[in-house]
């Protein structure tokens, strides 16, 4: 089945000419800056493109789909011979945790984006197949690193990437999660349903390159220090602990949810651990994840003014969660080390289709949070105390 659709994927080109690269840079601007309001790269507002000095380096390869008149998708691959990875890259994505990095051909995936109207189709599969062919064939890569926003972790797992004990990446817009793809690990790719699983035997196995020995990496891949927790049982334990530690009369969002709904959210979401002073997200950034605080304190500010402090059981990010294309309305920063349950927009969309009654209960509770915050904000504007009853 996989082989059949792999032969029907859209052609992917390497941007080799100045015209091709500039078309990609303009496409990045449309997606990064205009759609998501992101600050990554170096946006040139006069030319309306996004680029940086690595785009023109010999170790970079830029792929794209579509034409120079209408780019539909793109990704940048960076690839280094053993011992040649720049120090800044090693530090940023926690490559230093891998003990034999200096002996490995290493790669990095970045600037991956797809035109809004083409998302959810086979375009991503086409781009990643071509990237895999280049990494494993032309560049002889062993390890491929990347980082992404928390809400995209599940998407990248479908490409064979995995979390590890790396440090959170602090970007101008907020946090990013480091991931690694061990391109020869057939068992893992199969287990997560990776799109490139059919290609692995083309490059690794008897008479070809031997698969990488995973023994030196076990402590990194299974580290308790990983910022992301995806194991359903461990997530549920964290949620139960948060409920147990709550004040009996807290009246928080977490306190308002019945156990069966909490269990569903635990199965669909994942736990994120952050340290004090971490910028979770920035006002103006286009993002739809919602965060439920399991532990710690988080400050919500706008224009330098404190709007609220969120603690155990509180919810934030609900506005952008429900409004596609909506930008974050405030900055959120961790005041202490903290633990959060990350909920994606797709979680609610799936729940509406599979269990409308449970979805309605969840939406009602989120609506109550939003209504309460609106009442508090209105009271601050008018100078009147917020009402505690339901008469209004």
pLDDT for residue 203: 96
Longest dimension (CA), the chain: 77
**Confidence band (pLDDT; 50, 70, 90) for 122?**
confident
Q: What is the pLDDT of residues 353-374, one digit of tens each?
A: 887 877 787 778 777 777 776 6
Q: What is the pLDDT of residues 192-210, one digit of tens each?
A: 999 899 999 999 999 999 9
Mean pLDDT calculated for residue range 98-116: 95
**Confidence band (pLDDT; 50, 70, 90) for 388?**
very low
Query: Are the beta carbons of 370 and 376 closer than 8 angstroms?
Result: no
Integer-rounded Cα radius of gyration of the chain: 22
Distance CA 143, CA 79 (A): 10
Question: What number of other Cβ atoms are within 10 A of residue 239's Cβ?
Answer: 23
Mean pLDDT calculated for residue range 141-151: 92
Distance CA 333, CA 308 (A): 11
Is residue 329 pLDDT above 60, yes or no? yes
Walk me through the domains of the chain, giving residue ranges and CATH numbers.
Answer: 2-221 (3.40.630.30), 231-382 (2.60.120.10)
């Amino acid at each position: 089945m996989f082989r059949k659709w792999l032969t029907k994927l859209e052609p992917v080109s390497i941007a080799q000419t100045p015209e091709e690269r500039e078309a990609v840079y303009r496409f990045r601007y449309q997606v990064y800056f205009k759609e998501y309001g992101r600050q990554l790269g170096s946006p040139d507002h006069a030319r309306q493109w996004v680029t940086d000095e690595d785009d023109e380096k010999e170790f970079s390869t830029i792929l794209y789909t579509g034409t120079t008149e209408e780019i539909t998708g793109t990704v940048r691959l960076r690839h280094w011979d053993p011992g040649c990875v720049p120090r800044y890259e090693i530090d940023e994505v926690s490559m230093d945790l891998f003990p034999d990095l200096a002996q490995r051909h290493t790669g990095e995936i970045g600037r991956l984006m797809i035109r809004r109207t083409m998302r959810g189709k086979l375009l991503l599969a086409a781009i990643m197949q071509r990237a895999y062919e280049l990494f494993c064939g032309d560049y002889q890569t062993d390890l491929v690193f990347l980082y992404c926003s928390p809400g995209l972790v599940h998407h990248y797992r479908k490409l064979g990437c995995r979390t590890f004990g790396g440090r959170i990446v602090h970007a101008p817009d907020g946090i990013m999660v480091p991931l690694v793809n061990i391109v020869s690990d057939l068992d893992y790719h199969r287990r997560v349903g990776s799109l490139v699983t059919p290609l692995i035997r083309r490059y690794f196995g008897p008479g070809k390159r031997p698969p990488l020995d995973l023994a030196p990496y076990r402590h990194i891949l299974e580290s308790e220090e990983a910022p992301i927790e995806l194991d359903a049982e461990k997530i549920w334990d964290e949620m139960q602990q948060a409920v147990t530690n709550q004040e009996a009369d807290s009246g928080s969002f977490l306190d308002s949810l019945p156990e069966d709904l909490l269990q569903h959210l635990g199965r669909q979401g994942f736990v994120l651990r952050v340290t004090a002073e971490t910028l979770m997200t920035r006002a103006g950034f286009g993002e739809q994840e919602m965060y439920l605080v399991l532990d710690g304190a988080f400050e919500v500010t706008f224009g330098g003014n404190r709007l609220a402090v969120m603690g155990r059981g509180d919810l934030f990010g609900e506005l952008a969660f429900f409004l596609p294309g909506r930008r974050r309305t405030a900055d959120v920063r961790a005041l202490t080390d903290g633990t959060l349950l990350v909920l994606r927009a797709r979680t609610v969309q799936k729940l509406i289709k599979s269990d409308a009654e449970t979805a309605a209960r969840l939406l009602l509770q989120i609506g109550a949070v939003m209504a309460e915050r609106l009442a508090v904000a209105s009271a601050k504007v008018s100078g009147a105390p917020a009402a505690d009853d339901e008469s209004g």
